[in-house]
Structure 1
Amino acid sequence: MIRSVRSLVLALAALLILAGCGTTAPADQGVRVALQFPPRAGYAFDADDGGLLTKLGVAEPLVGLDPQGSAVPGLATSWAREGDGRTWRFVLREGVVFHDGARLDSGAVVTALTSVLSRPTPPRSIADLGMRVEADGPGAVRVSTDAPDPVLPLRLSSGTTSVLSPAAYAAASSSGGQPSPQDTGTGPLRMTEIRGTQGATLLRHDGYWGPRAASSQVTVDYVTEPQTRELALRSGDVGFAEGLPETSRASLQADPDVTFSEYPSARTVLLQLNGSAAPFDDVRVRRAVTAALDRTALADQVLGGSAAPAADLFGPAVPYGMTTPPPDGDVPAAQALLAEAGYGPANPLRVRLWTFPNRPELPVLASAIAAQLEPAGIAVDITVGDYAAQEPELLAGRYDMFINSRSYLSDFPDPAGVLDSDYTCDGSYNIDRFCDPAFDATVAGLGALSDPAQRAEVFRAAAATLTANAVNVPLVHPQNTAAQRGVTGFTPDPLDLRPVLPTLAPTD
């Protein structure tokens, strides 16, 4: 009876969400999709929403990525480093037409990049570089940085550096707002309607310079609740859904009407610890938490083998990550460390653990972590809430523990950006509040390294430093999931940086 009531509630929730976005599009009008993460700030590039626009196939940067994460031509067809290595020249693709009919030229690129660079908090991919951009005739631009940057083309593959029509920036300047992607991108899909955080309507851009979008229309619904995404897929209200519940994995795989995809990701689920306040400003307490957790059990038993246990930040998806499993949980060692820090029966330790539901494995892990910490003497109060409401508190250091899912190739396929933003003293996303000048110097040294093998050695050393200091606890490296029903064309992207929607098409 409880399960029947729960199913009815989920069904009603799915109907309400989808009804708010209009009726389901018929097959001749394309496909409907349920995505798990809505725009954070009205598709603002400095809030990482440019990456979402790239995923949608609406906006494009100068540089594209192949499936391995190597730089390939995008809005620029070639690039070369000049002089002392601080300047790169990008030759623009001819014949590119914005969705509003304007044509791509160097002036449009200068306007776009200057706009995002002038934001109070520029995107991580290009922040703190002293980046400048200038036209070199109508068909090329020069991009300069204060110091030589060996991975600048990869930085300019970030969706947060995508180029919109000049009209978008003119309208934003006059209104004091953000440039709108509606009818102003260059991608294979044109955003014709924006429904806030509820969804968007995308139509095929017939003037696209590359392969045409497979569907004439893609209707996007942002559905943050994983069970509701699943129910919408099973009912046929959407033809594609991502981030499906772990508990439904087996039944989706067995459904003959569903094509289920499970694939690795360059992502780590982390138990982040607030190192700026008690109790986690004491490294002994952080190490006690690390010792108490059995990460292999979390991956194999709690998540049913849909993730690999994490021994370091990076893991086996990249050549510089740890491939050996983490140590088993050791409750006596955890109890001894807590006793050294002054915690025990006479002074019990109770902490708050926050997470969010968009990624369905996170609330499940929260309950399991609380259960594993209890024998060590740590009582845990769990809150599952909206990430947007939690983030300001996290960044201000007003939390205890937080389960986060983090792509370590966030923005572009090189982890230097995440090491800088997440772990340096002035990092913009330093939730753990870690600060070590020696670590900062190591990360800063990446600016002088162009050899991939040398960069990999620095990445290994950085991960080892984070582990030695128990800055946080890497828990698991999850598998991504997606499913299609009545839709074909999905290509998994472990990097989660490339367009997903343009290849989707109805099977009818």
Structure 2
Amino acid sequence: MALVAACGSGGPAGAPVPDGELRLAAQFAPRSGYAMDTDDAYVVAQLGSAEALVRAGSDGTPQPGLATSWAQTVDPRTWRFALRPGVTFHDGTPLTPAAVVGALTWVAGVAAPPRAVKGVGLQAAEDGPSAVTVTTTRPDPILPLRLSSVNTAILAPAAYTGGPPSVVGTGTGPMRLVAADGNQEATLERNDAYWGGRPQLAKVSVRYVADPAARALALRAGDVDLAQGLPESALLGFTADGGYSDQAVAAPRTVSLMLNQSAAPFSDSRVRRAVAKAIDRTALAEQALAGSALPASELYGPAVAWGSQDPPPAPDPQGARDLLAQAGYGPDRPLTVRLQTYPNRPELPTLAAAVQGMLREIGVDAQIRIGEYGPAEPDLLAGRYDMYLLSRNYLTDVPDTGSTLVSDYTCEGSYNINRYCSPEFDALLAPLATTADPAQRQEVFRAAAARLNADVVGVPLVHSQENAVTKGVSGFTVDPLAKSLITPELTRTG
């Protein structure tokens, strides 16, 4: 993986403020009570509270985390992980093999395991006083990468009391979560016993702000020091002269128009192809988003080595109208669909309005509905929707896109929002189960992206960026994988 380096402008550095407090306007709020088997685990990880056995490097390789090393045993289904010595949980108890086994056993045994470990048959066992073994049903060439998933973070034994584990005061990270007020705010304090060195910040105050414009206003008013995911229009006002520092990084993230293939009208490939022909992806990136994104010709883009560098196909409105006519739609039978998305990512409502206009040109009435993602997810997974505009980082669950391909596009995929099922596509992915060589895996990724385009499985629109703006902060770097935010190096300046 070759992620494009971050760029932006920096304000005056200022002198470090000892034991400073950081005030954060966070882009995403927990929606399941910080449940570690859900996407709330990303919130916990970004806040620097919980850690996994393995970290993912910027090049997509596994790096030491709570485990210092790992290797396959004689049994190719089993890996041995040596634990980092001297680590304590926030409640003062030590990191032990028993604690690791308890945490991994819990996450593998929930009713709906997280995408990173779903279906692999993960089992953990103690191996002496300082190691654990992890076994899967079949040999898994990327198991260490799976264990970099935020969902596999290790919490103290006290977190597991029969119900969902409690993340308050039970992690190992540089910051200790001490208070959590639902999806409104949270407070973290420094973990003075952190194994990675004493963090610079003494406290972090978090406000969860779903509206991008409200995040920008909070930063401009001086109510927060760091704001994530700001609209492109707002970024122009945060200049170095004003003391602000902005960062944007090309991320392995694609905004796609999901099309529900399990029901009419998008069960008809002609209608899906018509939608694809109607959309001018270059105009979306360069005009609607003012050049802050790149037009997508397929699922993967230039943020990764195997991504396409080709321009997207030119729009063909007449070809789209012809396909709709073949499918039985036209002036006498107009097509009306719901186009849904969510507001947390500032580009999505803008893209929805632009797509709506392009579809109107071919006679499709797309009625926009904008609402929080969390309440919509059950309907999406059950196929109770028409079109949904979704931003997906395809390396988030596991820093190997094979996991995303399996979860999002196979017949038994746990996150198959498009409701796509092709035995031929599943067979194309089969070599990933036994292939460890990155070059060979990337050839499968390329072939999979081409097949998804051929079958019109949704419509990739643009490859977007992650951004954040700070004021009076040093040591901050935007993580393109969206796993890291509060780090030991982060410092307030004055």
Q: Is this contact kept in 2: 1:412–1:497, CA < 8 A?
A: no
1:431-446 mapped onto 2 (5 Å cutoff): 431-446=417-432
**Higher helix proportion (structure 1 or 2):** 1
User: Partner amino acid for 2:273?
Assistant: R
Shift of 1:444: 3.2
Shift of 1:29: 4.7
Which of 285, 309, 312 matches 1:299?
285
TM-score (ref. length: structure 2): 0.95
1:352-431 mapped onto 2 (5 Å cutoff): 352-431=338-417
- Counterpart check, 1:491 vs 2:477: yes
| CA deviation string 1:9-34 (max 9, x = no partner) | xxxxxxxxxxxxxxxxx995511001
Which of 233, 239, 263 matches 2:249?
263
Structure 2 distance, partners of 1:124, 1:441, is 20
2:173 aligned residue = 187
Which of 314, 317, 323 matches 2:309?
323
Shift of 1:403: 0.3
Shift of 1:379: 1.1
1:21 aligned residue = none
**Structure 2: gaps spanning 5 or more residues:** 1-16
Which of 276, 286, 296 matches 1:310?
296
Larger relative contact order (C-alpha < 8 A, sep ≥ 6)?
A: 2
Structure 1 distance, partners of 2:384, 2:97, is 45
Shift of 1:36: 0.8
User: Partner amino acid for 2:58?
Assistant: P
1:270-285 mapped onto 2 (5 Å cutoff): 270-285=256-271
The alignment yields a C-alpha RMSD, in angstroms, of: 1.4
Structure 2 distance, partners of 1:415, 1:348, is 38
Structure 1 distance, partners of 2:463, 2:322, is 29
Structure 1 distance, partners of 2:429, 2:231, is 36
2:68 aligned residue = 77
User: Partner amino acid for 1:41?
Assistant: S
Structure 2 distance, partners of 1:504, 1:136, is 36
Q: 1:429 to 1:287 in 2, by over 3 A?
A: same
User: Partner amino acid for 1:132?
Assistant: Q
Q: 1:394 to 1:255 in 2, by over 3 A?
A: farther
User: Partner amino acid for 1:333?
Assistant: G
Which of 465, 489, 493 matches 1:503?
489
1:41 aligned residue = 32
Which of 129, 150, 153 matches 1:138?
129
Shift of 1:504: 2.5
Shift of 1:300: 0.3
Structure 2 distance, partners of 1:319, 1:29, is 39
Shift of 1:500: 3.7
- Counterpart check, 1:248 vs 2:234: yes
- The sequence identity of aligned pairs, in percent, is 54
Q: Is this contact kept in 1: 2:20–2:200, CA < 8 A?
A: no
| CA deviation string 1:141-190 (max 9, x = no partner) | 01011111111001001110000001111x3x1xxx21111111000110
Which of 168, 173, 180 matches 2:159?
168
User: Partner amino acid for 2:204?
Assistant: V
Q: Is this contact kept in 2: 1:51–1:158, CA < 8 A?
A: no
User: Partner amino acid for 1:37?
Assistant: F
Structure 2 distance, partners of 1:420, 1:97, is 36
- Counterpart check, 1:150 vs 2:146: no
Which of 54, 59, 77 matches 1:68?
59
1:52 aligned residue = 43
SS at structure 2 position matched to 1:45: coil
Structure 2 distance, partners of 1:167, 1:395, is 33
Which of 93, 118, 126 matches 1:102?
93
User: Partner amino acid for 2:311?
Assistant: P
Q: Is this contact kept in 1: 2:478–2:485, CA < 8 A?
A: no
Structure 2 distance, partners of 1:28, 1:87, is 44
SS at structure 2 position matched to 1:157: coil
- Counterpart check, 1:348 vs 2:334: yes
Shift of 1:249: 2.1
Structure 2 distance, partners of 1:473, 1:419, is 15
SS at structure 1 position matched to 2:469: strand
The range that moved more, 434-443 or 160-169, is 434-443
Q: Is this contact kept in 1: 2:20–2:492, CA < 8 A?
A: no
Shift of 1:245: 1.2
Shift of 1:496: 1.7
User: Partner amino acid for 1:481?
Assistant: N
1:117 aligned residue = 108
Which of 170, 184, 192 matches 1:198?
184
2:118 aligned residue = 127
Shift of 1:342: 0.9
SS at structure 1 position matched to 2:92: coil
Structure 1 distance, partners of 2:155, 2:185, is 20
Structure 1 distance, partners of 2:249, 2:90, is 33
SS at structure 2 position matched to 1:497: coil
**Structure 1: gaps spanning 5 or more residues:** 1-25
Shift of 1:58: 0.5
| CA deviation string 1:329-376 (max 9, x = no partner) | 110110111111111111111111000100010000000001111111
SS at structure 1 position matched to 2:267: coil
2:82 aligned residue = 91
Shift of 1:67: 2.5
